[in-house]
Structure 1
Amino acid sequence: MAPHKAPDSSRRSDRSRRAIYDAALALVGESGYRRTTIEGIAARAGVGKQTIYRWWPSKAAVLMEAFLDLAARAAEEAGPQADGGADPQAGAAEYGIPDTGDLAADLKLVLRATVDELNDPLMEAPTRALTAEGIVDAKLGAEFVEKLLDPQLALYVTRLEAAKEAGQLRPDADPRIALELLIAPLTHRWLLRTLPLTHAYADTIVDYALGGLTPRP
């Protein structure tokens, strides 16, 4: 008779954690942040709420970790070539922004990837919910910036500093302000939903940011 094998508690914990992540993201997309509860997450995940409280101190902590996990998985699936580095609202910071020597092409690649992620229903609903809640919940907003936004923005700064050293930007250009010229229009259009978010729009942002709007002699 084969010896009885004890259940793998770590595997069971991983399954439960994944179920909680999925439940939290689904609920915040369906009902919004404020209507999402620990009880609702537990019921959707098929776990006891005490399991959630054992691992996380609050609903915000669950959702933030679930969202960071989603962003990391999205970056892994895309890979370093497709990901190009950075979504200012979502995605992982592990690959960096490419440096082919062509700054415009590199930035267009990254912003096109950002457009694709912001238009992806799986990413859009939780991103929109957490972004909105972060405006009214200062603590959640600060955590969102610290854990997700700042690491992504740092990639832009690194790439733009390299471009400045290579003489592709003016010597007095502030990389932080420069990256805002790229990210802010994309985020503004996405938040307001007034016009479509497209690759062509992303390309135009790069052209305007790098070339300026005033005529050149």
Structure 2
Amino acid sequence: MTAKTPDASRRNERSRRAILDAALALVGEVGYNKLTIEAIAARAGVGKQTIYRWWPSKAAVLLDASLALAGDADQEGGWAGLPDTGDLAADLKLVLRATVDELTQEKYDAPTRALTAAGATDPALGEQFTRRLLEPQLALYEDRLRTAREAGTLRAEADLRLVAELLVGPLMHRWLLRTAPLDHAYADALVDHVLRGALADAD
């Protein structure tokens, strides 16, 4: 019987995921400043050069780890885009509530805070963070808002990007600065206040 040839792609994907999981776990334990490639490699059970073959820095590892985490959250939520039940307010509240749930979970909180802090001081990382993580998420909001505008729910002159930022921005501000509790009630109130000025029948 001929022995099976090892599947290198499967082995590489296992190693890659182990590295991403290790980065997420460690940044939650020690913070971004104390996170090292050596520690990630040791936790993942791989050589340091394996990491450097795929990523140039710990920041790049953490960015990909956060993207993978966001993908996992989307799968858990059961949608690739925002839901469209025909009730815009209900759909937005559902998504913002899910975002609150994610941000208040430890496995999401620590790496997202670390990446946000690193991106604020590293322009190249900040640009990648915006382009690869933030912009695609805002685009999903814009797509759902565009559908609502075409259906006559939103004002014809509504600035979709501005409405999306008004929904997401205050939520992230409260989470980042911990100025007040972040909960479902706040998410619902945010949607109601934003839509009050954007709905076609708001006059």
| TM-score normalized by the length of structure 1 | 0.85
Shift of 1:12: 2.5
Shift of 1:135: 1.0
51 and 166 in structure 1: CA distance in 2 versus 1, 3 angstrom threshold: same
- Write out per-residue CA displacement over residues 127-173 of structure 1, whole angstroms, 9 at most, x where no aligned residue: 11101111111111110110111011011111112222222222221
2:125 is the alignment partner of 1:140: yes
Number of aligned positions between the proteins: 199
Provide the C-alpha distance between the structure 1 equivalents of 2:72 and 2:168, rounded to a whole number of angstroms: 22
2:111 is the alignment partner of 1:126: yes
Residue 191 of structure 1 is matched in structure 2 by 176
Provide the C-alpha distance between the structure 2 equivalents of 1:174 and 1:55, rounded to a whole number of angstroms: 40
Residue 51 of structure 2 is matched in structure 1 by 52
Residue 137 of structure 2 is matched in structure 1 by 152
Provide the C-alpha distance between the structure 2 equivalents of 1:69 and 1:48, rounded to a whole number of angstroms: 21
| TM-score normalized by the length of structure 2 | 0.90
- Write out per-residue CA displacement over residues 191-213 of structure 1, whole angstroms, 9 at most, x where no aligned residue: 1113211111100001111124x
| Structure 1 unmatched runs, 5+ | 81-94
Identity within the alignment, %: 67
Shift of 1:70: 1.6
6 and 164 in structure 1: CA distance in 2 versus 1, 3 angstrom threshold: closer
Provide the C-alpha distance between the structure 1 equivalents of 2:81 and 2:4, rounded to a whole number of angstroms: 44
Residue 13 of structure 1 is matched in structure 2 by 12
Residue 23 of structure 1 is matched in structure 2 by 22
1:30-45 equivalent positions in 2, closer than 5 A: 30-45=29-44
| Structure 2 unmatched runs, 5+ | none
Which of the pair has the greater relative contact order for Cα pairs under 8 Å at 6+ separation?
Answer: 2
SS in 2 for 1:171: coil
Provide the C-alpha distance between the structure 2 equivalents of 1:178 and 1:171, rounded to a whole number of angstroms: 13
Shift of 1:78: 2.5
2:94 is the alignment partner of 1:109: yes
Could you tell me whether the CA contact under 8 Å between 2:59 and 2:115 is conserved in 1? no
Residue 77 of structure 2 is matched in structure 1 by 78
1:197-216 equivalent positions in 2, closer than 5 A: 197-212=182-197
C-alpha root-mean-square deviation of aligned residues, in Å? 1.8
Residue 83 of structure 1 is matched in structure 2 by none
Residue 65 of structure 1 is matched in structure 2 by 64
Provide the C-alpha distance between the structure 1 equivalents of 2:155 and 2:8, rounded to a whole number of angstroms: 57
Provide the C-alpha distance between the structure 1 equivalents of 2:164 and 2:9, rounded to a whole number of angstroms: 42
98 and 78 in structure 1: CA distance in 2 versus 1, 3 angstrom threshold: closer
- Write out per-residue CA displacement over residues 62-111 of structure 1, whole angstroms, 9 at most, x where no aligned residue: 1111111121122113312xxxxxxxxxxxxxx11122221111111111
Report the residue type matching 1:195 in the other structure: A
